[in-house]
A and B are shown apart, each in its own frame.
Chain A
Amino acid sequence: MSPSYQDLLGNAREVIPEVEPSEVAPRVADGTGPLIIDVRETGEWDQGHLPGAVHIPRGFLESRVAGTAPDSDQEILVSCASGQRSLLAAKTLADMGFTNVSSLAGGFARWKQNNHPVEVPRILTAAQRSRYSRHILIPEVGEEGQMKLLDSKALLIGAGGLGSPAAYYLAAAGVGTIGLVDDDEVDESNLQRQIIHTTDRVGMNKGESAKQAIAALNPEVQVNVHPFRINRDNVLDLVSQYDVIVDGADNFPTRYLLADASLMTNTPLVHASILRFEGHASVFKPYDGPCYRCLFPEPPPPDLAPSCGEAGVLGVLCGVMGNIQATEAIKVLLDIGDTLSGRLLIYDALGMTFTELKVRRDPDCPSCGPNADLQLRDYEAWCAGVGSHAGSHA
């Protein structure tokens, strides 16, 4: 006669010790407890589990246990809802050669009744799982990475040529908080490239206009509008509230200010700049790679550094470079892949070429070098001074 369910449980009890929650709870609390494998289904796990437990649904136990418990002699405690599935699962592990396996008596239910601590995993809502499903499918992102993005804060300097595409894609990606610093208003001449704005929002503050676009795209993103110019009085307060800076400024004083603030607040800086058909991009990780001043110790004089308003810019170029910034910001936030730290990427849209230059830390860098006396300065005056000095010889 085939064994019944009760027979299987009885057989398992003969070889698998059952451990009361009160016996193991102190060891779980002080971190000396066994490896806990929770074999319940995902819906049950999501309601809460023992602290530090690893989730392997019963149906995947045999195939996945080796990845979790490579040592067959290590102490394993199997848990489930009431202590029965865990008993059978523990017996399976014993049959597979694991020598030190026990089952949690009474399961998670008894653990909880005895008021032992419980961890409730943070999970994406059904709507979030649907919205971000293409991210979740990527192994480097997954649910964990998506939750990290939702918890992340990105500060965009400028909601213009670079800031428009960067803000749009970071919002679509679910970066939870986006700060937009821009004191400018939407102008008709912006719309050839600043795609987050619309014709009917001409005259509106760019941050406010971008906030409306983001709300329509992804209403769960918190948008902080900072409708002023960033300066040395407000930069540190502002930057320290965010995890990454996306520099889409249109002038050197702001760029050098951000570079120093990035170092002072230890906030990574994602850089891009554009002119006509050409774009530059890099990532400056404070003290973990070169900084902006390692690459460009001094700004060029004004005649060698025209703005897009003076020299023009291909609208599409802004999309390419702004999206390179969004890509790098996401990689920085998730700590995945190889960022452009230590490299300057030059995109020439006219020749359709990408050139990479090596950027190294300057041991004499006045901002991040070992002898640097880093403090915020009057960047307008400094850039004008350097520029006029350089220009006087031109």
Chain B
Amino acid sequence: MSTVKIPPVLRAAAGGERTVEASGATVGEVLTALCDAHPAIGAQILTADGELHKFVNVYVNDEDARLMQWTDTPVGDDDTLLILPAMAGGQ
């Protein structure tokens, strides 16, 4: 099981959790497991075709998955995934 860190804007969709455990061998599988367990997250980060929206960054540990193999990037049990949408707040 990998750990997925949930950003503040998605925590309500994850039942208020800041981290969620999800299983899968790749980024895509872990996110699918996450969205299966918390469909409200899927509704916000996935397109109608089930692809990740472009505004969603996913990091595996400290590396951007887009710069690795994106959703095919392998994920181990000790890895942490971080979902990172931009934040605009400053005031």
Contacts and interface: CB of A to CB of B under 8 A. Distances in A.
A273 B85 CA distance: 12
Contacts of A329: none
* Most chain A beta-carbon contacts within 10 A, residue among B48, B54, B90: B90
B91 A304 contact: no
Interface residues of A, number: 55
B76 interface: no
B78 interface: no
Contact of B88 (A298, A307, A359): A307
A73 B67 CA distance: 55
Contact of A160 (B59, B86, B90): B90
B8 A275 contact: yes
* Most chain A beta-carbon contacts within 10 A, residue among B54, B64, B85, B87: B87
A182 B41 CA distance: 35
Interface string B71-90: 00000000000101111111
B29 to A, nearest CB: 21
B46 interface: yes
Nearest to A387: B55
B44 to A, nearest CB: 5
Shortest Cβ-Cβ A-B pairs, 10 listed? A160-B91, A250-B91, A296-B86, A273-B87, A248-B90, A308-B89, A300-B55, A393-B47, A300-B85, A393-B48
28 contacts: A161-B91, A162-B91, A163-B90, A248-B90, A249-B88, A250-B88, A250-B91, A273-B87, A273-B88, A274-B89, A274-B90, A278-B8, A296-B86, A297-B55, A299-B88, A300-B53, A301-B55, A304-B44, A305-B87, A305-B88, A306-B9, A307-B88, A311-B8, A313-B89, A357-B59, A357-B62, A386-B55, A390-B54
Interface of B: 7-10, 18, 43-44, 46-48, 53-57, 59, 62-64, 67, 82, 84-91
Given A308-B91, A386-B55, 17 more contacts: A190-B91, A248-B90, A248-B91, A249-B91, A250-B89, A273-B87, A274-B89, A275-B9, A275-B87, A280-B86, A299-B55, A300-B55, A304-B55, A307-B89, A355-B82, A357-B64, A390-B55
